[in-house]
Amino acid sequence: MEGVNEIPRGTLQEQTFYEQVGGEQTFRRLVHRFYQGVAEDPLLRPMYPEDDLGPAEERLTLFLMQYWGGPRTYSDNRGHPRLRMRHVPFTVNRAAHDAWLRHMRDAVDELELAPEHERQLWHYLTYAAASMINTEG
Ligand code: HEM
């Protein structure tokens, strides 16, 4: 017999990844930390023309929230992500890929997620970063 203290079956499994890892504030922490790294990066920083990295931080945050099952604000504002196409104006070579992932790795580490969540998130980020490479060498 199910005890009164048991969480009803199904409840937890139906949560999105977004909810499981703590929702908006987790994604805000992740991307904020990531852009602190970008701000200091001699290769990546010049790719962002704006003086203020805030708008880019907001776009990536909203995109990742949506990707993982959160609100669809990114697409409401920006339309279909078409990420590869949006990166065409930038030289994403192996060095840019490595730098991007290095800052993301630091940011993911600071979240201290459960190992399974961390594994899923990192798996996605590494595959997504590889798929964004558009320039050899
Ligand atoms: C691999 C190295 C990467 C580099 C060097 C790079 C660089 C950039 C730059 C310079 C921008 C323009 C700033 C802006 O308008 O927001 C940008 C935008 C963006 N990037 Fe990346 N990016 C990389 C990988 C990724 C990956 C893996 C993702 C997703 C997981 C991603 C998601 C985005 C998003 C959502 C935007 C904003 C798109 C928009 O709505 O305009 N990027 N990226």
Split into its structural domains, the chain has a count of 1
Q: Is the pLDDT of residue 8 over 80?
A: no
Instruction: Judge whether 57 lies within some domain.
Output: yes
Compute the distance from residue 22 Cα to the ligand 1 centre, in Å.
Answer: 23
| pLDDT at site 10 | 60
Measured CA to CA, the distance from residue 121 to residue 55 in angstroms comes to 23
Protein residue whose Cα sits closest to atom 43 of ligand 1: 87
- d(Cα 74, Cα 70) in Å, to the nearest integer? 10
Closest among 94, 98, 72, 89 to 18, alpha carbons compared: 72
93 is a domain residue:
yes
State pTM to two decimals: 0.92
Distance from the alpha carbon of residue 16 to the mean position of ligand 1, in angstroms: 23
The verdict on residue 5 lying in a domain is: no
Please say if the pLDDT value at position 1 is more than 90.
no
Ligand 1 binding pocket mutation candidate from 50, 72, 83 (most atoms within 8 A of CB): 83
Q: Is 137 a domain residue? A: no
Asked if residue 118 has pLDDT above 70, the reply is: yes
> Does residue 94 lie in a domain region?
yes
Judged against a pLDDT cut of 70, whether residue 9 lies above it is answered with no
Tell me which residue has its CA closest to atom 21 in ligand 1: 87
Average pLDDT over residues 58-77: 98
Statement: residue 17 has pLDDT above 90: yes
- Across the range 66-74, mean pLDDT stands at 98
pLDDT in tens, 99-117: 999 999 999 999 999 999 9
Ligand 1 pocket (Cβ < 6 Å) reads 44, 47-48, 56, 59-60, 63, 78, 83, 86-87, 90, 92, 96-97, 100, 128-129, 132
Q: Considering the chain, what percentage of its residues have pLDDT values greater than 70?
A: 91
Structural domain including 95 reads: 19-132
Asked whether residue 74 is assigned to any structural domain, the reply reads yes
75 domain residue, yes or no: yes
CATH code, domain carrying 100: 1.10.490.10
Asked whether residue 41 is assigned to any structural domain, the reply reads yes
